[in-house]
Amino acid sequence: MRFDEYRAHDAVGLAALVERGEIHPTDLLELALDRCAAIDPVINAVSLLMERAARQRAAGPLAGPLAGVPFLIKDLGQDYAGYPTSGGTGPLRKVAVERHSMVVQRWLDAGLVIFGKTTTSEFGSKAVVETRTFGSTRNPWDPTRTPGGSSGGSAAAVAAGIVPVAGASDGGGSIRIPAACTGLFGLKAGRGLISSGPLYGDLLFGAVTDGVVARSVRDSAVMLDILSQPDPGAPYPVARPDRPYRDAVAEPPRRLRIGYTCESPTGSPVDAEAVRAVEDAARLLENLGHTVEPAAPAIDGTRMAMDFMTAWTAMAAAELAVACEVSGASPTEFDIDTQVLAAVGRAVTGPELMAAHARWNTYTRALAAFHDTYDLLLTPTLATPPLRIGQHRTPALADTVLPPLLRLGAGKLLSRTDFYVDLVTSNLSAVPFTQLANITGRPAMSVPTHWTETGVPLGVQFVGPSGAEYLLLQLAAEIETARPWFDRHPDNLGVVDAD
C-alpha cells in the first residue's frame, strides 16, 4: 500500500481492510511511522514514539472494531502503562505511569495500535501548543500558524496524514479548537458520557472529557461507541441512546431549528472571516431544509469567563503541586504561564471557588432555556483564523520579572496585573465561544465547513442540549455529505524556520 492509498481510508475503512486480510497491521504501522518520520520534523506533532511496543502489538493477534489501525494518544491524561505522560512538561517526561487510563484501555480493547503520544500545551492550559519543553507544533495547512490547542499535536498529526484519527481531550475547547484550525471533525461529548477513570471522577467539575479528532464523522461516531461504555466507578450514571452512535451517520436528522450568533460572549472582536464561516454554514443549513435564525442564550459571557478562569487556575495550582511532588521538580522548571496560573489559583479562596462554581448553574439554566426554543446553537469555533506561531507568546522578560513575585506568593497581586489580564484575554479572545459547552456539560462539535481565501481551515461550532450527541452526529454526517472535506489535504508542508 502506498501513502496516498493509506490516506484515502478513515480508521473504519482501514480496519475493514485488515479484517478482510487485504493488509496486515504491521504494514499499516510502518506506513504511519514512515509518514511520521517524513513530516513530523516540520509540524512537531509527536512528543513520544513507542515503536517497540507498537510493533509487538501489531504482530500479535488483535480484535475489536478498529483492530490493526495505527493510533496516537494525547500526552495529557491518556496514560499508557510503562510510559510517561508528560502533560507538555519537562519534569513529567521522566515519570512512567503504572496503569492505563480507562480511555487508553478501551482503545486497546478496540484493537488500535498505539505507537506514540502527541504534543499538548502544558497541562492543556492554552489554545496553542508552544511549550518550553517541546517547542511549537505547527499547522499542516500553514506551518507558520498554530493547529490550536491543547490537542494541537493530535490535530496536526491527523491533518498531515500520519493517522486518520487521534486521541484528544477538551476542558475548554481543546477538541473543537484544533479541529477548527486543521479541517477536522471534533465532537466534545456531554458531561459524564465518557469516563475519566480510574484516576479522575469529575475533572474540573466535569468540564473535561476525552475524545478524538478525526477526518470522518463515522470515525468519531465509532470512537464514541468505544469510549462511552458505562463505568461502574463513575460519579453518576449517564443516559445513552438505545442504538449505537455509529447508526447516526446513516440516519438523516429531522428538520432542525437552529439559532446562530457571531458575537463574542465576552465582547472581544470577531474576525470577518469567522463571521463569513457562520453565515455560510447558515445558508448551507437552510439549503438542507433546516430553519436558521439569529439567536443567542442570555448569558453574561464576561462573568462566565471569569468564573471559568477561577476554577481553571485552582486546577492549575493543584496540577502543578502534584507534578512537583511526583517528579521532584521545582515549580521554576515549568512554563512561566503555568507558574502564573498556579500562583493565581493558590490565591483563590474556598468561598471564591465555590461561588464561581455555583454560578455555573446560572449559565447552564440559560443555555437550557435557549434549547427550549432551538435544537442547536451555531457559533464560530474560533473568533479568528488560526493564530500565527508566537503571536501570543509570553514575553521573554516575564521569565526574569515574574519569578521573584511568584516566590513571594503574590498570586492575588498577579491576578490584578496587566500581565495576567493579557495572558487570560489573549488566550480566550481568540476562542471565546467554546467554554460554554464545558461549563454547562453540554455536547458540542466543530465541523470543517469553511476555508479562508488563503486556504486555512476555519470550522464552525454547534452546541446541543444534554444527550444530543446522536443528533449532532446526524447533522455532521448530513453536512459531510453535502460539503465533503475528507479528501481535502494540506499542500503547504514545506520547511520552516525552527523556534
C-alpha 27 chain-centroid distance: 29
Instruction: Please report the pLDDT score of residue 422 as a whole number.
Output: 66
Q: Domain limits at 134?
A: 3-253+468-482
Give the CATH number for residue 146: 3.90.1300.10
Helix H or strand E encompassing 70: strand 70-74
In a domain, 209, yes or no: yes
Instruction: Please report the pLDDT score of residue 401 as a whole number.
Output: 62
pTM, two decimals, is: 0.96
In a domain, 442, yes or no: no
In a domain, 417, yes or no: no
Catalytic residues: 74, 150, 174
Instruction: Please report the pLDDT score of residue 330 as a whole number.
Output: 94
In a domain, 463, yes or no: no
Q: No. of H helices and E strands in the chain?
A: 17, 13
Q: Are 134 and 119 in contact (CB under 8 A)?
A: yes
DSSP, residue by residue, 227-263: HTS--TTSSS-----SS-GGGGGGSPPPP-EEEE--S
As a whole number of Å, the end-to-end CA separation of the chain is: 35
Instruction: Please report the pLDDT score of residue 418 as a whole number.
Output: 66
| Per-residue pLDDT tens digits of the chain, which is 499 residues long | 999 999 999 999 999 999 999 999 999 999 999 999 999 999 999 999 999 999 999 999 999 999 999 999 999 999 999 999 999 999 999 999 999 999 999 999 999 999 999 999 999 999 999 999 999 999 999 999 999 999 999 999 999 999 999 999 999 999 999 999 999 999 999 999 999 999 999 999 999 999 999 999 999 999 999 999 999 999 999 999 999 999 999 999 999 999 999 999 999 999 999 999 999 999 999 999 999 999 999 999 989 999 999 999 999 999 999 999 999 999 999 998 899 899 889 989 999 999 999 999 999 999 999 999 999 999 999 999 999 999 977 766 566 667 766 766 666 777 766 666 666 766 788 999 999 999 999 999 999 999 999 999 999 999 999 999 999 999 999 999 999 999 999 986 654 444 4
In a domain, 333, yes or no: no
In a domain, 199, yes or no: yes
In a domain, 181, yes or no: yes
In a domain, 198, yes or no: yes
Structural domains in the chain (count): 1
Instruction: Please report the pLDDT score of residue 497 as a whole number.
Output: 45
Q: Is 442 exposed, middle or buried (0-12, 13-18, 19+ CB in 10 A)?
A: buried
* Cell of residue 313, nine digits: 487556575
Instruction: Please report the pLDDT score of residue 499 as a whole number.
Output: 47
Instruction: Please report the pLDDT score of residue 498 as a whole number.
Output: 43
Instruction: Please report the pLDDT score of residue 393 as a whole number.
Output: 77
Q: Are 109 and 67 in contact (CB under 8 A)?
A: no
Q: Which residues, 6+ apart, have CB-to-CB distance to 114 below 8 Å?
A: 50, 53, 54, 57, 71, 72, 73, 80, 104, 107, 108
